[in-house]
Amino acid sequence: MSDTIFGIHGAALELRSQRMGLIASNIANAGTPGYKARDIDFASALKARMAGSDSDQAASTATLYRVPVMPSLDGNTVEMATEQTAFAENAVGYSATLSFIRSRVETLSRAMKGD
């Protein structure tokens, strides 16, 4: 039902939310020795989601390990600059998707009210 109302935006919002959690996990583990940063390849995750797989499956198949610019001595691959820009980019994408959904809701509620 929600798939047909919101189209691609519903799926995109779910994936954006999952990606936000993953990047927050990276930021949380910035000081953990041996932690490998992960990120969702958003485009391929969305493609998989639209091809019919559910959102968890789409996200997990598109989850990749990040390649660090400079390897560190303790094996941690979290780079704060990368994570912060990814987080910001994802937050802006989330906002954009949210405004698409909001306008869709407005359109539908206006149609239902008839004014």
Partner 1 sequence: MASPMNLFTVAQRSMSAQLVRMNSAASNLANAGSVAATEDKAYRPMRAVFAEQLDQATGLSTVRVAGVHRTDAAPVKRHDPTNPMADAEGNIFESPVDQNAEMVEMLESSRQYQNMVEALQTAKQLMLETMRIK
Residue 94 engages partner 1 in binding (rule: CB under 8 A): yes
Please select the residue that binds partner 1; options are 7, 20, 50, 100, rule is CB under 8 A.
20
- Rounded-to-integer distance, Cα 91 and Cα 17, Å: 9
Please select the residue that binds partner 1; options are 64, 80, 96, 108, rule is CB under 8 A.
80
Rounded to a whole number of angstroms, the minimum distance from the CB of residue 14 to partner 1 is 11
- Cβ burial, residue 107 (10 Å; 0-12/13-18/19+): exposed
C-alpha neighbours within 13 Å on the C-beta side of residue 40:
31
Rounded to a whole number of angstroms, the minimum distance from the CB of residue 40 to partner 1 is 10
Residue 29 engages partner 1 in binding (rule: CB under 8 A): yes
20/50 with CB nearer partner 1:
20
Cβ(82)–Cβ(66) under 8 Å?
yes
Task: Look at residues 25, 31, 55 and name the one whose alpha carbon lies nearest to residue 42.
Answer: 55
Binding site for partner 1 (CB under 8 A): 13, 18, 20-25, 27-35, 59-60, 63, 80, 84, 87-88, 91, 94-95, 98, 101-102, 105, 109
